[in-house]
Structure 1
């Protein structure tokens, strides 16, 4: 009986089935699967060998061959099962790795998207940022496809808003205080002050527009119109004066706040291609600026237009602004000073007076606890430290598979035994349990393919978002400064501030644009005038893409004035390692950049039938660079070098480049010819000897 059982190979398919089941279905590792399959096969061989030794000698030889044949079949079955399991394990590990990467990419994508939106909204209001964001993504796609714009004009992101109030505020006495500060003290002081002003602006529903040195200006009624915009600005102005008063009384530092407010209409948005900053333009904005300069320290100076919006909310007295500003007198602007209804509050004792004024100021301002710039980028969420959850579909399949195998596999074995050697025509059984292993393998292969495709698409989306985030950040900060805030190995917790010994600063303005700018129905209340200014600034920005001017960094635009600097890319501390010739070469490059700006403007004049001319001022020397403003971080540079460069522009002549005597000596050493202008009176500096760079020589040097 035993011989007849093994003679028909009846147990071989069953044991092969067990071997394949162990390798393909059971949740064993490779080592455990090999052991279990080998033990199963050996049990059959051992039993068959015992049968051979105890059986009839007549069939013993054939049964030996039978044992060897079965052993060979089992060996092949184990090899095939092991190979299949190895392939499936590799596929499973690949799927796991891809799934893990997919989850990590999703998390990174969410973080990048949050950072990008937070960064963009810190620069621009939401109603403009979305259009610019789509434009950046479209530009990235076009650059990858190497397409070119058919439109010769640059995009203009400017809108007109009516019935708003504009506030300009200037810290009186801050320039003198800043000269006594270290770089860190200056950046911390500015950030604390303007951080406090940002907080006051938020409380009074005002939008900070820009920081210009120690000047702060904001608008109420943007982007959503507010009926109480004038009250908001006046309340904010009074709060700013009170905040500065508290600083003065607590520290003994002689500073004050001068505030000017006017109500009217504005054009608001972004111009240019680089270093975007939200700004406002209109005659009403210029008037608000005049109101500040003609104001009284510690008081809020308003126009009659603003007073009409206030009703009887505040008591006022005559401001007599026309006596302090010729523009107000020429325009017959009647002004008023707002009387603060609040009573002064007693303050805690001030710091010891033997301390420097800047130290007393810094210590007091630190108690305000203003947020640091780019706080949302300083502590980035870590993706690698998070435990990634497995794919949901795969997680659901595994328990179901483990439950079904106990029903499918025994039933399959039973079918193999009961239907052997006979045709079962009386009952048509479902063959699903036969095809389930094949379907399962096919399902996992398809799932692997889908997961890989999904990961590929999400990775492309992540790379696009990363590029957009990088472009946005570098459009606010220079690349070397941006690395300070997003680098993994940087000390991001510290303020960014650097001191440079030799930086060349340029101011280039188009004074004729103020005359060109008009507000009428023909030019859409000044919008078409700003379109031309956008073309001018955008063409200036395109020059920065040239390798020759890679060391020139745009700082900002102030109306129709373009501010740039060279020498900021050098790591502080390495300046002394640079030879003097290379330091002086930066000044020569800046002169060539100024000439390139003039050439660009000449080209625009030919196409627009205008006669704009550039007025340029250049100076070099030590500066302090830093990032200030918590809600709207802004990179800027400060110092006597910057102030003198600005005066060189404002006191210059159209079509000429004015420089100081020190800068002139360096330019003459580089081969440039300079013409002595003579002594001129510079505000805050007295009389200075200045020179004009001969543009013909500069053009030949540029060539």
Structure 2
């Protein structure tokens, strides 16, 4: 009978081994990812069938000893199968639960039928123990699934955030490059990232420079370089004042954006670096900050290209404007001055001379200096111009080698049609190549029919509704959103989304995703809205999956986790400290993957498991005093821990006030106390079993011995609970429990009876238990407890169960640590990307005011009229007296200017000047305005609060100059300020270089008030007195000639009136509210009161606006150094 059993066992074992090896090999193929459920199902079915086939060994078996041994071994095998299926088989949870419960039912039925020694009590207890196994298995499976999915999500989220971080980094670089060259940008990025790792605070939020500085920080950060052989180009639009006199704000900004966009394109193609636009004046350099030998030719070609571009602009818009271009070559100082609304700029006497070359030039001609002429060799036909200060000048008549300059670069340009409202491609603007010898002709689109040209300007709004910065996408936007990876295209965010979010799909708001919007139209049906949201969520999940698939390091992350292979501690010591410190911290958004939920779940499972084991021991064995005392201790311990958990759960929902229990809970959940508490809880079931062990109570009958082994094997599984505990401690405790079981069963702690060799029978013997003789308790040598082969099998199953516990504990802790690591990495990357976004916002708001940027996010455009806006120009009139290029090329004098402008910039951070906005610095001239934020104007207590704040700002600038002069040796700066208020137009223009500026007749007058002002005084035109004389005292200066305005009556500020607060002045002149504010207030006004507002707005629209530009003559006076 033995041989067939062995043969069958070997055959079944071989079949199972072959199927397991085959399944393992199949997991390495690509087909496994498609059929993994089928493979897992087949493997599990084979394993279950093989384990159930052992019942065939009982057929015909007559030995009770063999049946007893089989009962324990089969039950242990059942536990192994169930735990392996729950913990390791990759199948859906419902399939796993169905298989495991079906397997348990079949197993217990076969056991009850084929094992006659099982009593009803034992069968019931075995069913209870089966439920305990399922409880531990389900807990293991659920927490494993949660951990794996959470880890997958966190790793995917971290990778997506990392990708976003790369996009944000590129975005940041592009944004910085929009106001300065890469060489200067590198310095600024290095400066702004010095504190990123610690505080990630933008520069404007750092310690003000007016606070005491360390001895090594006497001056603000300053970056200025002296570069020789640089060509400077100044170009002014001739006839722009006439052209802009009858244009609306949107048309004016659209025209400038269109024209300057063409110039920006030329700059990029011809190797020039755009510096800035000053009203209708455009200037750039070549050979700076990166030197190049053909700098002079680049600027000349730039000038010729600008003349050709403005000619084509005239054809497209039916205008008659021209360009006057001046070029000079020399030495410049290039860098950044100021801390707010800064930009890359150049300074030197040569820059001033280049400006003069433009002002003395001729429309449609490029006027060059003698120095520039020397760099051009024989490339151009020239004619001499009028000499200036004994310097020869020349006009470019044409190229000598026409075929080398015939190459033309072109780009698309669109305008609208009045009749159709459609966008029509007009001719592409052409420009000469910056590489002589290249001969290539790009495609030229058909020109707009003449019939449409006369009406094209009036219809710019229809084709260029985003006439601000949206007329042509900026280079930074194109670089980010046109990346080949869909992930980049759909997740480019921050500043990028504010310009391009949904414009390409025809939507006006709602999303940072290109190609679709997350905005749900209220008019849509509910089902359709939910369907769209589900689709967006699915798209996000697909992006994360694609991101993980594309990352080659993700596989290594799961195969070789960042932990020590022996201790499972993190390689990063800081990460290990954070893991121990934050192990039980309450999450802001509790989920099943949170540490607090895991803790509660572990404790509740431990309580249920302990109650089941205690009940099993009570039913199967006697109740000695040691067991009763242990159960009392264990029950009290569980109840205390359970109450702490209930109290914490209620406290999180606000149903329990803080008390001493909270302190106890926090202490118990610290790293080391929690290990003590956890190890106690995980050991209570096995402790209650061993406390119930007696020779008479356990080893008296085979049934009781088997039952004892049942509960011990099941209790060993409980050491896989509490995944937050160190796996070494739990596994070592499980090993100790297994060793104790083997010692209790295998060692002769309870003696076996003597055997009569003659009759081969066992003599009954009396055993004393606690001093009490128990007659009739006998042991047979053939019985289970005294059978050596049975002991060996017990030890074998103890080893198998213990190895399984070690394996599960190790995998669970790795999974839990990976989940924590993924969460920590995602949180760290989110902080980094948030810091990058903060820096991007800071940089953006140094280019464009905050309220303008917010409007751009919603409308993708910005051009706006502002009524009664205040403007000042403040010039340091004697800075050129200090400036001397013979000392370090003038660099140190610009450092002084940087400190002074920085002090002016700091005034803008004060709440009393919240209505004041810096526009720009022009050489040593500071330009600011007020009343450009409609929201702030509506919040002001008086309609002219912003005008008073601007005047107070001008007075404070004089005080800053006085304080600054105290630190200068043998030199005092003198400031001259011009003030005016009136209607202005604000807008954002440019393509590669975004630029916020204002235009209007009031801007010109303020500039003239400065140019024709008195040093040390503030000068205003006469019409400003009707508003300002309520707060300030003026003295008349008389009538004087102002260029472009003939004679004007001007006044000088004497002082501010005493004890007069503009915040409590009577609210007069309410009709002077800005047009934007009036339009928004109209929505809140009753219908009866809206008619006067509408009539007033119609009258305003009928009046032509005198929107002119800031002439370059202003810069001719103030830019020279």
- Same-fold call, TM > 0.5? yes
- 1:139-288 correspondence to structure 2 within 5 Å: 139=195, 149-150=213-214, 151-248=217-314, 252-288=318-354
> Shift in Å at residue 335 of structure 1?
1.7
Query: Which of 628, 636, 640 pairs up with 2:989?
Result: 628
Contact 1:372 1:629 in 2 (8 A): no
* Residue of structure 2 in register with 1:453 after alignment: 824
Aligned residue in 2 for 1:688: 1048
Report the counterpart of residue 335 of structure 1 in structure 2: 393
1:4, distance to aligned residue in structure 2 (A):
5.7
Partner of 1:388: 544
Over 3 Å counting, the alpha-carbon distance change for 1:72 and 1:353 in structure 2 is: closer
Which structure 2 residues correspond to residues 343-382 of structure 1 after superposition, within 5 A?
Answer: 351-352=450-451, 355=454, 359=458, 371-373=472-474, 375-376=477-478, 377=496, 378-379=499-500, 382=513
- Are residues 316 and 163 of structure 1, via their aligned partners in 2, closer, same or farther at CA, if it must alter by over 3 Å? same
Single out whichever of 198-207 and 124-133 deviates more from structure 2. Answer: 198-207
Aligned to 1:661: 1022
Match of 2:950 among 581, 587, 590: 590
Residues 1:552 and 2:916 are matched in the alignment: yes
Separation in 2 of the partners of 1:466 and 1:354? 44
What CA deviation, in whole Å up to 9, does each residue of 1:67-116 have, x standing for no partner?
Answer: 11211211111112122222223322322332232122112212211211
Matches within 5 A, 1:414-493: 421-422=791-792, 435-485=806-856, 487=857, 490-492=858-860
CA contact (8 A) 1:251 1:364 kept: no
- Structure with the greater alpha carbon radius of gyration: 2
Matched position secondary structure for 2:119: helix
- Residues 95-110 of structure 1 mapped to structure 2, 5 A cutoff: 95-110=151-166
Aligned length: 657
CA RMSD for the aligned pairs? 3.6
**C-alpha distance in structure 2 between counterparts of 1:298 and 1:235, whole Å:** 13
Deviation at 1:698, TM superposition (A): 8.3
1:174-202 CA distances to partner (integer Å, 9 max, x unpaired)? 01211211111111111111111122223
Q: Deviations over 1:526-556 (max 9, x none)?
A: 1011111111111111111111112211111
CA displacement at 1:614 relative to structure 2 = 1.1
* Counterpart Cα distance in 1 of 2:1062 and 2:192: 33
Matches within 5 A, 1:637-652: 637-652=998-1013
Partner of 1:25: 88
In the alignment, the residues of structure 1 paired with residue 76 and residue 317 of structure 2 have an alpha-carbon distance, to the nearest angstrom, of 95
User: 1:186-224 CA deviation, whole Å, 9 max, x = no partner?
Assistant: 111111111111222233221111100000111111222
Give the distance between the partners of 1:644 and 1:32, measured in 2 at CA: 82
Shift of 1:121: 1.3
* 8 A contact 2:231–2:330 mirrored in 1: yes
Return the alpha-carbon distance in structure 2 between the equivalents of residues 126 and 304 of structure 1. 31
**1:296 lines up with 2:664 in the alignment:** no
Please report how far the alpha carbon of residue 567 of structure 1 lies from its aligned counterpart in structure 2 after TM superposition.
1.2
2:122 matched to which residue of 1? 66
Secondary structure, in 3 states, of the residue corresponding to 2:234? strand
Q: Contact 1:314–1:338 (CA<8 Å) still a contact in 2? A: yes
Residue in 1 that maps onto 2:56: none
Change (3 A) 1:252 1:153: same
* Superposition TM-score, scaled by structure 1 size: 0.85
Task: Check 1:502–1:135 CA distance in 2 against 1; reply closer, same or farther (3 A cut).
Answer: same
Distance 2:86 2:186 in 1: 55
Distance 1:398 1:257, change over 3 A: closer
Question: Paired residue for 2:905?
Answer: 541
Q: Once the two structures are superposed, what CA deviation does each residue of 1:258-308 show, in whole Å capped at 9, x if it has no partner?
A: 111111110011110011211100000000101111111111111111112
Instruction: Write the mapping of 1:1-20 to structure 2, written as runs, cut at 5 A.
Output: 1=61, 7-8=68-69, 9-10=71-72, 11-20=74-83
Residue of 1026, 1034, 1039 corresponding to 1:679: 1039
Please give the alpha-carbon distance, in whole angstroms, between the structure 1 residues aligned to 2:190 and 2:1059: 40
Separation in 2, partners of 1:394, 1:235: 52
Give the one of 860, 870, 893 matched to 1:504: 870
CA gap 1:182/1:698 in 2 versus in 1, 3 angstroms: farther
Q: CA deviation at 1:561?
A: 0.5
- Is the CA contact (8 Å cut-off) linking 1:251 and 1:351 kept in structure 2? no
* Correspondence 1:516 to 2:882: yes
Alignment deviations for residues 395-416 of structure 1 (CA, whole Å, 9 cap, x no partner): 579999xxxxxxxxxxxxxxx9
Matched-pair contact (CA < 8 Å) for 1:244–1:255? yes
Structure 1: gaps of 5 or more residues: 323-327, 401-415
* Structure 2 partner of 1:570: 934
**2:265, 2:852 → 1: CA distance?**
25
C-alpha distance in structure 1 between counterparts of 2:845 and 2:314, whole Å: 37
SS at match of 1:273: coil
TM-score (norm 2): 0.55
The answer on whether the counterparts of 1:506 and 1:616 sit within 8 Å (CA) in structure 2 is yes
**For the Cα contact (< 8 Å) 2:338–2:905, is it kept in 1?**
yes
1:561 aligns with 925
Deviations 1:314-371 (A, max 9, x none): 2222211x5xxxxx4xx3332222212499999968745994795499999999x973
Unaligned runs of 5+ in 2: 1-60, 407-429, 431-443, 479-495, 502-511, 515-538, 561-741, 743-787, 1064-1121
1:38 to 89, 94, 101: 101
Q: 1:203 to 1:93 in 2, by over 3 A?
A: closer
**The residue matched to 1:607 in structure 2 has which SS?**
coil
Q: Is the 8 A contact 2:945 2:1062 kept in 1?
A: no
* Secondary structure, counterpart of 2:472 in structure 1: coil
